[in-house]
């Protein structure tokens, strides 16, 4: 049914909005000349890397800019009424009644000391003056609406007793209690696992349809935005550089930045080639120091003279498609060629080389403190969190193994046990022929030297008070890789290898961006020329354009030095293009293992199938099977009997799954699947990802 | 076909303190005729329509220009709106025809839709007319035939089986008592992609029924 007789006024109309923050160095324009509108029941995505002003727009709309932020010019019309210059009391009422926000971290939006029920019904009791009993009932209904399992029980729990996905559901339910006309979501799924993220995104779509709520969806993830929104605005350095329907943005991106973003996002398309990442050179300029012409000019492959001189305006290219670029008509027709030398050599190198790492029956248990009185005397039954349980694999020299799985699957524990930060409870780890099932303290210095690690969060793994040069030099001195007087030269060589100039030698970590810090982390890990490097989600904390550059760099160095690598990631799209082998972990066990290409095509383990179907793909032409896992990963304290995945498995075949541990099904070429379903049936599964038409 | 499916959710609403001059501008700019006035928690306080915003001359002390201007500028929505207790409202779960009956019997143009005193939407006469258009598949071209039949059970079935005997689909169908003929019933059917002549030939065969109007629309 067309709705052209309905109210035409958009729920939200932002026009030429400019927002500044006052700083000691003067005003910094965080957002400039941003315009867009959202109609009722429509979802509008805002994408861009960190520091592009996405959240500032959201804060500007609800006047939440803090003491030093102010709206400089432009207008924000909500339901046809100007929000700018409203009094605080009016705005507060409006926010409570008609605009709701959902933030990235659900835990920080919930009060940890109040039960879920108490904080939810407060909304209704305060805003609507409802009786407690009525309010409670309404809250339970809303929790059901967001597909919360067992809502009555959830009402009396505390936030920490819920999983991240459940917490976010509570926050969304709370936001919807007042039936807002506009829902602003700022990275609502970024902190969640892919499988949970997929379920939350489905939920958002359902709610939008049922409540006719307009949604402003902020995310750095193009795939996520493609899945939920009808229109997308791309932000870069405080400006909206392109705005169009989702399909236009993904199929015909016109701004060079949008095109660049598309190329550096892992895609999980059909072929391995489509998952290559092409980084964008340079970095986002700071808002205090913008280039005089086009803000993207310093990073643009097409830049001309005019781009340096004149600031481009946002102009309509076709109805509903706006681009801020001087050369757009030229770019539209041009076929983009990847510049030479951007990609490291990515030919798979599964050789018959000797395994350098051999892990067999590895178990790492954490003892759980018991609450029983008997345990005071050491008599109570000991309980263990089985973080890694019976894991075995071999990794040939010079190859890369990708390890994927949801959080809580034991990926990091596995890496920590191998590197020696945790001591194994049982099993054997053999590295270069030596048994290393002992903690790092008892290992020989030579062994430690050969085994290094790159951590997820570069901020917390670097000593903030030591210079970059000192940090990279430390392993060189400790392992005596080079004579003492050559350390400086070697550090500079390493800096050069990670594409940082000599100037960085004396800088402190706080003077570096996230991507630069991670480069230093990589340089440090590779400094002693180790044989094996363990990377624990080294790029998850980074922006997409930086992510691609860091990944490519990591691979380049690995290929140069012939290093073996174990690479942990939380979703299957990232590891695809460079892994030789992939291991999928679930609840402490490997459930599928094999050559990378085999993992992405049938036969699948049912868990791998679900993981693949959950990955958001920024390409509307790609058809993805819809499989959603219910619930969260069960506790590793008391893992399910039989096949551990049976509680969530959509393909469970019967009682056998609950009682017996599944056999390894050999699918050939080293591809193993840990499942009761016979191989012939697994082979008949359809591919999860197909291209339309 | 319930009110909740056809009402406008998140209607434009105003605070009771909005001046009537502002309210007139707001309604004019956004092309709306009904403005629910709400307090905290979107609780309905009253309803303003374009009519309530017209100030009765009797309320003015004199027709002096300054007097009018002063009176107007001092008035807010809460002074002129129909207060909530006099506003006829409905709930989201009632049928469309029931909403229509309330509006017809009270001769009003809109019904605010409330859930526990809170405005969740509004349904207006235009929404109902738009729905009528959709029921008659107005936007899709086809042949529209009005058949007059005796007002007894089984007559519509005869007509439908005549149509389905040819394998045609019915795009839209509606009926009402024939005007001024108490024992007759008029049924309108709309058929797509079939020549008018064929339809007339086929439906003319139905016994006891008469084609009173046929046209391509």
Residue spans of beta strands (DSSP E) within B108-198: 110-115, 118-124, 143-150, 170-177, 184-191
Q: What integer best gives the mean pLDDT of chain B?
A: 91
Q: Are strands A581-586 and A400-404 parallel, antiparallel or unpaired?
A: parallel
Q: Give the pLDDT mean for B124-142.
A: 92
Q: How close B16 gets to chain A, by Cα (Å)?
A: 12
Question: Secondary structure of chain A: what % helix, strand, coil (to 5)?
Answer: 35, 25, 40
- What's the token pair of residue A168? 């976010």
Distance from the Cα of B214 to chain A's closest Cα (Å) equals 26
**Category of B42 on φ-ψ map: left (φ > 0), alpha (ψ -120 to 50) or beta:** left
| Higher pLDDT pick, B44 / A207 | B44
Q: Would you call B8 and A11 a contact, using CB atoms and an 8 Å cutoff?
A: no
Q: Who among B32, B41, B116 is closest to A127 (CB)?
A: B41
The per-residue pLDDT for A376 is 62
DSSP character string of A476-502: HHHTT-S-GGGHHHHHHHHHHHTT--G
For residue B8, list chain A residues with Cβ-Cβ distance below 8 A: 6-7, 40
Beta strands in A542-602 (DSSP E): 564-569, 581-586, 589-595
Cα A328 to Cα A276, A299, A313: the distances in Å are: 25, 16, 12
pLDDT of residue A338: 66
Q: What pLDDT was estimated at residue B142?
A: 93
Q: Tell me the residue length of chain A.
A: 693
- Check: CB of residue A661 under 8 Å from CB of residue A600: no
pLDDT at residue A348 tops 60: no
Q: What are phi and psi of A88, to 5 degrees?
A: -55, -40
Q: What is the C-alpha radius of gyration for chain B, rounded to an integer number of angstroms? A: 24
**What pLDDT is recorded for position A374?**
65
What is the per-residue DSSP string for A354-404?
A: PEEEEEEEEEEEEEEPP-SGGGGGT-SPPEEEEEEEEEEEEEETT-EEEEE
Identify the weakest region by mean pLDDT among A36-50, A272-286, A630-644.
A272-286
- Distance (Å) from the alpha carbon of A179 to chain B's nearest alpha carbon: 8
> Is residue A181 less than 8 Å (CB to CB) from chain B?
yes
A243 three-class SS: strand
Among residues of chain A, what percentage have pLDDT more than 70?
93
pLDDT at A285: 83
Higher pLDDT residue, A438 or A396? A396
Percent residues over pLDDT 90 in chain A: 32
Contact across the interface for B31 and A90, Cβ inside 8 Å:
no
Beta-bridged to residue A368, according to DSSP, are A383
**Residue (of B131, B148, B145, B156) closest to B190 by Cα position:** B145
The answer to which of A230-239, A282-291, A391-400, B36-45 has the lowest mean pLDDT is A282-291
Residue from A2, A75, A79 whose CB has the most chain B CBs within 10 Å, to mutate: A79
* pLDDT higher than threshold 90 for residue A17: yes
Helices marked H in A468-571: 468-478, 487-497, 514-527, 544-561
Whether A128 sits inside 8 A of B130 (CB atoms) is: no
> Average pLDDT of A205-233?
90
Q: Which of A185, A226, A228, A171 is nearest to A205 (CA)?
A: A228
Q: For A378, left (φ over 0), alpha (ψ -120 to 50), or beta?
A: left
**A94 min Cα distance to partner chain B (Å):** 9
For A134, which residue in chain B has the nearest alpha carbon?
Answer: B116
Structure tokens given for A281: 């050179």
B28: closest chain A residue by CA: A80
Interface predicted TM-score (ipTM) of this complex, two decimals:
0.84
Contact B30, B11 (CB under 8 A): no
As given in the structure block, the two tokens for residue B49 are 């329509």
Which DSSP helix (H) or strand (E) runs through A125? helix A116-128
Q: State the average pLDDT over residues B146-165.
A: 93
**pLDDT the model gives residue A139:** 94
Instruction: Give yes or no for A8 touching B (CB within 8 A).
Output: yes
Closest residue on chain B to A138 (Cα)? B116
The answer to whether A93 contacts chain B (CB < 8 Å) is yes
Chain segment A149-187, per-residue pLDDT in tens: 888 999 999 998 888 888 888 999 999 888 899 999 998
Residue A1 pLDDT level (bands cut at 50, 70, 90): very low
Please give the Cα distance from A454 to A467 (Å, whole number).
Answer: 18
CA distance A56 to A20: 9
**Peptide bond before residue B63 is cis, with ω within 30 degrees of 0:** no
Name every chain A residue with its beta carbon within 8 A of the beta carbon of B140: none
Which residues have a Cβ under 8 Å from the Cβ of B105 and sit 6 or more positions away?
none
Q: Assess whether pLDDT exceeds 90 at residue A7.
A: no
Q: Which of A10, A82, A87, A93 to mutate to test the interface with B (most CBs of B within 10 A)?
A: A93
Q: Using an 8 Å Cβ cutoff, are A4 and A27 in contact?
A: no
B40 touches A at CB < 8 Å: yes
> A426-431 and A434-435: which strand pairing?
antiparallel
Best residue of B1, B6, B9 to probe chain A, by most A CBs closer than 10 Å: B9
CB contact under 8 Å between A7 and B8, yes or no, is yes
Question: Strands A182-186 and A99-102: what pairing?
Answer: parallel
Closest partner CB to B10 (pick from A2, A128, A181): A181
Of residues A269 and A123, more confidence is placed in: A123
Closest to A217 in 3D by CA, of A59, A78, A44, A15: A44
Q: How far is it, in rounded angstroms, from Cα A385 to Cα A372?
A: 17
Query: Does B32 contact chain A (CB < 8 Å)?
Result: yes
End-to-end CA distance of chain A: 28
The H or E element spanning position A123 is helix A116-128
Residue A36 scores a pLDDT above 90: yes
Give the rounded percent of residues in chain B with a pLDDT score beyond 70: 98
DSSP-derived 3-state class of residue B55: coil
Residue A403 scores a pLDDT above 90: yes
pLDDT at residue number B137? 92
Question: In chain B, whose CA is at the least distance from the CA of A181?
Answer: B10
Asked if the Cβ–Cβ distance from A6 to B8 is below 8 Å, we say yes
What is the mean predicted confidence (pLDDT) over A224-242? 92
Interchain contact, B29 vs A80, CB within 8 Å = yes
Angle at A176 between CA A170 and CA A181, to 5 degrees: 155
Nearest-CA neighbor of A228 among A248, A209, A254?
Answer: A209
CB–CB contact B8 A179 (8 Å): no
**Distant-in-sequence, close-in-space partners of A433: CB < 8 Å, separation ≥ 6:** none
Closest among A299, A278, A274, A265 to A341, alpha carbons compared: A278
Q: A93–B32: do the CB atoms touch at under 8 Å? A: no
User: With an 8 Å Cβ cutoff, is B104 touching chain A?
Assistant: no
Radius of gyration of chain A (CA): 27
pLDDT over threshold 80, residue A381: no
Which residues of A7-143 form beta strands (DSSP E)? 12-23, 26-38, 43-47, 69-78, 81-82, 99-102
CA dihedral B51, B53, B57, B59 (to 10 degrees): 120
Which residues contact residue A82 at a Cβ distance below 8 angstroms, ignoring those fewer than 6 apart?
A: A75, A76
Q: Answer yes or no: is pLDDT of A334 > 80.
A: no
pLDDT (tens digit per residue) in A448-470: 889 999 988 888 888 889 999 99
| B41 touching A (Cβ < 8 Å) | yes
Six token digits for residue A236: 């870069």
pLDDT of amino acid A584: 94
Structure pTM? 0.86
Integer Cα distance of B168 and A660 in angstroms: 58
pLDDT at A2: 47
- Closest to A174 measured CA to CA, from A87, A90, A114, A91: A114
Top-ranked range on mean pLDDT: pick from A394-403, A429-438, B81-90: B81-90
- Substitution target from A5, A91, A92, A127 for chain B, most B beta carbons within 10 A: A5
Interface check A130 vs B, CB under 8 A: yes
CA A256/CA A250 separation, integer angstroms: 13
Tokens of B124: 């207006």
Give phi and psi for A153, each to the nearest 5: -70, -35
* E strand or H helix that includes residue A317: strand A315-318
Give A4's pLDDT tier (boundaries 50, 70, 90): low
Convert the pLDDT of each residue in A548-588 to its tens digit.
888 888 888 888 888 999 999 887 888 887 788 999 999 99
Chain B residues within 8 A of A129 when measuring between CB atoms: 41
Task: For residue A335, give both structure tokens.
Answer: 């076929």
If you average pLDDT over each of B39-48, B88-97, B202-211, which comes out highest?
B88-97
Quote the pLDDT of residue A473.
92
Contacts of B109 in chain A (CB under 8 A): none
DSSP state of A300: -
SS3 (DSSP) at A119: helix
Residue in A closest to B138 by C-alpha: A1
Report the distance separating Cα A168 and Cα A198, nearest Å: 13
Q: Alpha-carbon distance A42 to A44, whole Å? A: 6
Q: How high is the mean pLDDT of chain A?
A: 86
Cβ atoms A544, A573 nearer than 8 A? no
Beta bridge partners of B185: B149, B177
Nearest CA in chain A to B123: A6
**What does DSSP say about strands B82-83 and B118-124: parallel, antiparallel, or unpaired?**
unpaired
How many contacts, defined by CB atoms under 8 Å, are there between A and B?
A: 64
The whole-number pLDDT of residue B61 equals 66
Mean pLDDT score, A75-97: 83
Q: Encode burial over A134-154: b for 16+ CB neighbours within 10 A, e otherwise.
A: ebbebbbebbebbbbeebeeb
Give CA–CA dist A637/A384, Å, rounded.
6
Alpha carbon distance A265, A139 (integer Å): 39
Token couple for A323: 């681009």
Find out whether A634 and A640 touch, Cβ atoms under 8 Å.
yes
């Amino acid at each position: 049914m067309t709705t052209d007789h309905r109210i035409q006024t958009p729920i939200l109309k932002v026009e030429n909005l400019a927002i500044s923050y006052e700083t000691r160095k003067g005003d910094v324009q965080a957002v400039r000349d941003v315009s867009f509108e959202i109609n009722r029941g429509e979802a509008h995505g805002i994408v861009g890397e960190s520091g592009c002003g996405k959240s500032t727009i959201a804060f500007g709309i609800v006047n939440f800019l803090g003491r030093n932020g102010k709206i400089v010019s432009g207008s924000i019309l909500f339901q046809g009424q100007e929000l700018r210059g409203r009094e605080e009391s009016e705005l507060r009422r409006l926010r409570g009644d008609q605009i709701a926000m959902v933030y990235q971290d659900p835990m920080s939006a919930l009060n940890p000391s109040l039960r879920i029920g108490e904080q939810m019904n407060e909304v209704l009791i305060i805003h609507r003056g409802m009786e407690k009993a009525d309010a409670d009932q309404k809250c339970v209904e809303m929790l059901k609406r967001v597909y919360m399992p067992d809502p009555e029980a959830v009402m009396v729990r505390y936030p920490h007793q819920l999983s991240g996905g459940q917490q976010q559901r509570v926050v969304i339910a709370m936001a919807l209690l007042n039936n807002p006309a506009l829902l602003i979501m700022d990275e609502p799924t970024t902190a969640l696992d892919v499988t949970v993220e997929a379920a939350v995104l489905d939920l958002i779509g359902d709610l939008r349809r049922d409540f006719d709520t307009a949604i402003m969806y902020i995310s750095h993830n193009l795939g996520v935005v493609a899945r939920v929104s009808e229109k997308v605005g791309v932000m870069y350095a405080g400006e909206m550089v392109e705005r169009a329907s989702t399909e236009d943005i993904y199929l015909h991106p016109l701004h060079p930045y949008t095109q660049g973003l598309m190329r550096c996002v892992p895609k999980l398309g059909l072929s391995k080639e489509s998952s290559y990442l092409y980084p964008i050179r340079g970095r986002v300029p700071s808002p205090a120091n913008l280039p005089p012409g086009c803000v993207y000019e310093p990073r643009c492959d097409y830049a001309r003279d005019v781009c340096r001189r004149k600031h481009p305006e946002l102009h309509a290219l076709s109805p509903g498609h706006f681009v801020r670029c001087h050369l757009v008509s030229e770019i539209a027709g041009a076929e983009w060629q990847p510049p030479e030398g951007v990609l490291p050599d990515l030919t798979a190198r599964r050789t018959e080389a000797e395994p350098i790492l051999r892990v067999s029956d590895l178990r790492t248990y954490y003892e759980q403190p018991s609450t029983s009185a008997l345990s005071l005397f050491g008599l109570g039954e000991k309980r263990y969190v089985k973080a890694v349980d019976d894991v075995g694999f071999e990794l040939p020299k010079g190859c890369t193994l990708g390890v994927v799985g949801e959080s809580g699957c034991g990926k990091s524990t596995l890496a920590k046990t191998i590197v020696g930060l945790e001591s194994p409870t049982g099993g054997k780890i053999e590295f270069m022929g030596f048994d290393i099932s002992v903690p790092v303290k008892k290992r020989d210095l030579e062994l430690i030297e050969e085994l290094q690690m790159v951590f997820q969060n570069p901020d917390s793994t670097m000593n903030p008070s030591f210079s970059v040069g000192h940090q990279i030099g430390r392993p060189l001195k400790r392992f005596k890789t080079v004579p003492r007087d050559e350390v400086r030269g070697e550090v500079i060589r390493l800096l050069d290898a990670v594409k940082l100039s000599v100037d960085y030698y004396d800088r402190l970590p706080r003077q570096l961006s996230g991507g630069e810090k991670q480069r230093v982390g990589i340089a440090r890990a590779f400094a002693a020329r180790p044989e094996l490097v363990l990377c624990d989600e080294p790029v998850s904390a980074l922006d997409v354009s930086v992510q691609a550059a860091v990944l490519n760099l990591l691979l380049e160095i690995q290929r140069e030095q012939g290093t073996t690598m174990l690479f942990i990631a939380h979703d299957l799209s990232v590891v695809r293009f460079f892994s030789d082998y992939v291991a999928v972990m679930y609840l402490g066990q490997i459930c599928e293992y094999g050559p990378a290409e085999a993992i992405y095509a049938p036969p699948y383990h049912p868990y791998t199938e679900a993981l693949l179907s959950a990955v958001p793909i920024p390409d509307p032409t790609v058809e993805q099977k819809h499989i959603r896992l219910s619930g969260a990963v069960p506790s590793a304290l008391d893992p399910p009997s039989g096949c551990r995945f049976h509680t969530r498995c959509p393909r469970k075949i019967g009682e056998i799954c609950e009682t017996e541990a599944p056999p390894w099904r050999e699918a050939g070429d080293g591809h193993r699947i840990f499942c009761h379903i016979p191989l012939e049936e697994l082979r008949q599964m359809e591919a999860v990802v197909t291209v339309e038409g | 076909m319930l009110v909740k499916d056809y009402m406008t959710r998140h209607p434009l609403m105003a605070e009771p303190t909005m001046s009537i001059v502002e309210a007139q501008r707001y309604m004019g700019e956004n092309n709306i005729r009904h403005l629910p006035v709400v307090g905290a928690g979107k609780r309905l306080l009253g309803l303003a329509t374009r009519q309530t915003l017209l100030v009765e001359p009797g309320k003015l002390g004199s027709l002096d220009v300054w007097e009018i201007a002063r009176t107007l500028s001092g008035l807010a929505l809460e002074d002129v709106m129909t207060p909530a207790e006099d506003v006829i409202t409905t709930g989201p779960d009632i049928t469309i025809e029931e909403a229509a009956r309330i509006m017809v019997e009270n001769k009003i143009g809109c019904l605010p839709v409330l859930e526990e005193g809170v405005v969740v939407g509004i349904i207006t006469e235009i929404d109902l007319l738009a729905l009528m258009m959709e029921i008659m598949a107005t936007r899709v071209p086809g042949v529209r035939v009005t058949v007059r039949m005796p007002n007894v059970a089984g007559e519509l079935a005869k007509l439908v089986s005549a149509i389905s005997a040819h394998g045609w689909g019915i795009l839209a169908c509606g009926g009402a008592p024939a005007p001024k003929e108490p024992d007759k019933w008029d049924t309108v059917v709309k058929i797509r992609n079939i020549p008018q002549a064929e339809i007339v030939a086929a439906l003319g065969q139905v016994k006891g029924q008469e084609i009173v109007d046929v046209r391509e629309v």
